[in-house]
Amino acid sequence: MKGKGQGRLSFRAIEVFVAAIEERSISKAAKRLGASASAISLQLSNLEEILDARLIERSSRRFQLTTAGELFAPRAKSILDEVTIAKAEMSSASYAPKMNISMAVMEDFDSKVLPHWIAKLQGEFPQCKFTIKSGPSHENHAALSSRGFDMIIAADNTTEIDWIEEHQVLHDPYILVVAAPQNVDASIDELMELPFIRYSQEQLMGRQIEAQLRRTKNMPAKKYECSSTQAVFALVEQFNGWVITTASAYLGANKNNLFGSSIPLPKFSRTISLYSRRDTMGEIPFRSSEHLRSSLEEVFLRRVEKSLPFLKDTVRLINSSEN
């Protein structure tokens, strides 16, 4: 390498390096950071020049850390974490710098719970800017693992990971949703005669539903499968069919022309939690989960009581003492 020791090491260069190695792609790192691929490549080249070491072997066919890159990677990640910790510790102080908190939130909370919750967060953390993306739980988990977001709201994480901090907030029961009111009290055998609309198996919810159907030896014909609740409900309505979904998905979709009912199978539910990277944001994740529970109680549980009264003793908040 030429230019040994020239230039100054910048925080942006560290951020670019970590994004590149976690995404294992210059173009994906550029998308994650909102920059051009050429700008990302330039930052990496400048970083390597300053450190006088090749960090990444990158070409159209290969993207691999060098020995120097392997040594530098944990230090670079630690620098990012330390900066995040410092900002989080100052977040409640009047002299705190502006802090951008990026969040990925499950789609079911978009229309009602999310605005209520963000208003509460803004009240406690007025100096914070919130960047919010909605998406399915499996995509939100992937985004957290790649540092794409600081916090996520998602359903059950099926893998125990020591760097994840989890705050459980809601037991979200599965329910039956049908297109025709006369099918609300249908038996499972009667439902089997109607079109069943599946959630995509790439989704955690889809896999949980499929597992429950297998356990109970009830396997509807595989004909329709969708990756979003809106699409699932549209097909239920179109084909006078049925679906197994959750209370939050049903209420979040605002489908007044579909009917929710108790599922004619053994009861099961999913757990919704707030996740963050452990020990990097101080009290912010805990306080955010407290505000989320409050919003769920004020918004979601009231809607359950009105629209899904049969869930009165099933759906419930998970208090912080239970975590």
Give the bridge partners for 277, in sequence order: 164
**Per-residue pLDDT tens for 28-53?**
888 888 889 898 888 898 899 888 89
| pLDDT, the chain, mean | 87
Is the alpha carbon torsion for 202, 204, 209, 214 positive or negative? positive
The whole-number pLDDT of residue 275 equals: 94
**Per-residue pLDDT tens for 210-249?**
999 999 999 998 899 998 899 999 999 999 999 999 999 9
pLDDT tops 90 at residue 170: yes
The whole-number pLDDT of residue 2 equals: 45
Query: Coil, helix or strand for 314?
Result: coil
Query: Which 8-state DSSP code applies to residue 56?
Result: E
**Per-residue pLDDT tens for 129-158?**
888 988 888 888 888 877 778 899 999 876
CA dist 128 and 97 (Å) reads 9
Spell out the domains of the chain, with CATH numbers in brackets.
11-88 (1.10.10.10), 97-170+270-311 (3.40.190.10), 173-269 (3.40.190.10)
CA–chain centroid gap for 217, Å, is: 31
pTM (2 decimals)? 0.74
CA dist 24 and 62 (Å) reads 9
